[in-house]
């Protein structure tokens, strides 16, 4: 890290430290919120005329598009010193929604919760250009707690995608891979998080930096009102909450077949994973700091072990917004061979055209467990976490080959409580029934 970046980071840490005394409610044992899968009947994206296979097909397409986001952001990280960066990300790239309110008095939002990005943003009045939104747009002029941030502010300095207006306001600009975009002003505001179905009360958190978007258009869906960045960068919700949650958050994702139940995300004390059988693996520091990197050492099918050819530190990203798991091409080929050797079912084609290893289902179908061996942690994944039924008579491996990133996706994480400890620099896994957790 060079001197300039070290000073930026130090200034931002100081800013966070001065803000921590305001996060009283969040610090008192933490808080919990519901995560709603976008294909759940609880979601405004839900289309009752779609079959379960229609929804699955859309989920798989989103997953395949999302890896382009990781690839492009990784390339842009080498350009950190440039004044302006155009991020090629996917506007509908998350799979889970979070309910919250912004401002005083509070205005309700439903935003994508995304562990693969940092910036929090929503559409704001007045709009030069806004996509249609079914919920009211946030009007900063009606909130007593809204403040624009200056170009000299620490959050603005920490944001590569920022520039300075003639009036010295901090302006941001994101351009998406499908030509969608959001442009606006970086500001601070009070966020109120609705309590989860299992929690007792909502939590109000002041002075959170966010993007107030005055010019947004493209393929954004009218049901969504922005994005909550949960990545590892300095402007993410996790980093801004900082010591008030002791650097801890977790989630427990219900299986895709049971999305009538909401998943849950915990912050602070309640995010600690301490149940019997918990295993932990180190978080690996790496650029860009948005992503959460782990070391995957091998994958086992029965007695057959597939060793990863790359010894690079942080060779796989864990992400809740990517449905499928992606593996480097050579590793995937070895895994495919190991599976073909033990699965006694006729091969089949995926009707969605996305998945690469599929079988014709039979009455005696038996699918193997897979062991994912991370540094210091072995996770045993039953077929629920590694196979998905794509039609009445075809089941496919929920893992595909990638020529760039490896990603540990959310199907693999279903029915596990997954806890992130950014102070202890580790991720923990405990097998759990997430419909009851």
* Nearest C-alpha neighbor of 34 from the set 191, 196, 192: 196
Dist. CA 157–CA 407, nearest whole Å: 30
CA-to-CA distance for 216 and 180, rounded, in angstroms? 8
Q: How far apart are CA 183 and CA 174, in angstroms?
A: 6
> 280 has which bridge partners?
428
For residue 265, the cross-strand partners are: 33, 251
Q: What residues pair up with 208 in beta bridges, in sequence order? A: 189
Contact between 352 and 324 under an 8 Å Cβ cutoff? The reply is no
Strand partners, 371: 300, 380
Distances (CA, A) of 18 to 14, 154, 381, 422: 6, 12, 43, 19
Helix H or strand E segment including 7: helix 3-19
Q: How many helices (H) and strands (E) does the chain have?
A: 8, 28
Tell me if 359 sits within 8 A of 405, measured CB to CB: no
User: Which sequence positions are flagged as catalytic?
Assistant: 114, 319
Q: Scan for tokens 């020529």, then name that residue.
A: 403
Within 13 Å and on the Cβ side, how many CA atoms surround 322?
30
User: What DSSP assignment string belongs to 121-176?
Assistant: EEEBSSPSB----SSPPB-GGG-TT-EEPBTTSHHHHH-TTEEE-TT-BEEEEEE-
Asked if 178 and 218 count as a contact pair (C-beta separation under 8 A), the reply is: yes
Q: Residues 354, 60: contact at Cβ < 8 Å?
A: yes
74-98 CB burial, b ≥16 within 10 A, e <16: bebbeeeeeeebbbbbbbbbbbbbb
């Amino acid at each position: 890290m060079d001197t300039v970046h070290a000073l930026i980071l130090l200034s931002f840490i100081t800013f966070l430290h001065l803000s921590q005394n305001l996060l009283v409610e969040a610090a008192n044992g933490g808080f919990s919120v519901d995560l709603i899968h976008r294909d759940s009947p609880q979601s405004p994206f839900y289309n009752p005329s779609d079959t379960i296979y229609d929804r699955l097909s859309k989920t798989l397409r989103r997953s395949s598009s999302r890896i382009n986001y990781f690839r492009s952001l990784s390339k842009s990280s080498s350009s950190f010193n440039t004044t302006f960066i155009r991020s090629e990300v996917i506007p509908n790239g998350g799979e889970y929604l979070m309910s919250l309110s912004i401002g005083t008095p509070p205005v309700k939002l439903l935003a994508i919760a995304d562990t693969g990005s940092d910036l929090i943003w929503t559409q704001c009045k007045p709009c030069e250009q806004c996509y249609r939104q079914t919920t009211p747009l946030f009007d900063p002029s009606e909130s007593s707690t809204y403040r624009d941030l200056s170009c000299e502010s620490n959050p603005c300095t920490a944001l590569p995608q920022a520039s300075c207006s003639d009036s010295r306001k901090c302006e941001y600009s994101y351009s998406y891979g499908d030509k969608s975009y959001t442009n606006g002003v970086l500001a601070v505001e009070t966020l109120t998080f609705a309590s989860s179905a299992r929690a007792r009360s909502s939590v109000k958190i002041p002075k959170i930096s966010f993007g107030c978007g005055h010019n947004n258009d493209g393929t954004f869906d009218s049901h969504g009102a922005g994005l909550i960045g949960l990545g590892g960068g300095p402007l993410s919700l996790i980093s801004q909450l900082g010591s008030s949650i002791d650097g801890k958050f977790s989630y427990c994702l219900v299986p895709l077949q049971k999305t009538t139940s909401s998943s849950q995300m915990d912050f602070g004390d309640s995010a600690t994973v301490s149940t019997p059988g918990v295993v932990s693996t180190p978080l690996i520091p790496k650029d860009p700091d948005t992503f959460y990197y782990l070391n995957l050492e091998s994958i086992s099918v029965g007695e057959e072990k597939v060793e990863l050819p790359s010894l690079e530190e942080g060779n796989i990203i864990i992400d809740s917004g990517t449905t499928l798991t992606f593996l480097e091409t050579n590793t995937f080929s070895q895994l495919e061979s190991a599976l073909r050797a033990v699965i006694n079912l006729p091969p089949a084609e995926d009707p969605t055209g996305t998945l690469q290893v599929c079988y014709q289902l039979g009455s005696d179908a038996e699918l193997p467990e897979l062991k994912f061996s991370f540094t210091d942690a072995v996770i045993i994944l039953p077929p629920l976490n590694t196979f998905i039924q794509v039609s009445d008579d075809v089941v496919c491996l929920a893992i595909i080959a990638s020529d760039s990133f490896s990603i540990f996706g959310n199907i693999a994480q279903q029915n596990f409580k997954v806890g992130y400890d950014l102070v202890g620099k580790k991720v923990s896994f405990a097998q759990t029934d997430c419909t009851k957790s």
